[in-house]
Amino acid sequence: MTSAAHEPSARPIALLTGVGRTIGIAAGIATRLAADGWDIAAVYWNPYDT
C-alpha cells in the first residue's frame, strides 16, 4: 500500500513568502497561481504583515 503523501502531484506547487498583505505582490501572485491550478504554500510573519 502506498501513501498519497508520497505520490507525485499532478499539479505544480509554489511556495510564497510575505502573503499576509492582501494588497502586496505576493498575494497577487498567490491568487493568480491558485486560479491557474497551482497548489500554494504560503508563509508570513504576522507582526510585520498585518
Are the beta carbons of 8 and 34 closer than 8 angstroms?
Answer: no
pLDDT of residue 34: 95
Are the beta carbons of 37 and 13 closer than 8 angstroms?
Answer: no
Beta bridge partners of residue 43, listed in sequence order: 17
pLDDT of residue 5: 63
pLDDT of residue 3: 58
pLDDT of residue 15: 92
Could you list the pLDDT tens digit for every one of the 50 residues in the chain?
A: 455 666 666 889 999 888 877 778 888 999 999 999 999 998 877 676 55
pLDDT of residue 45: 74
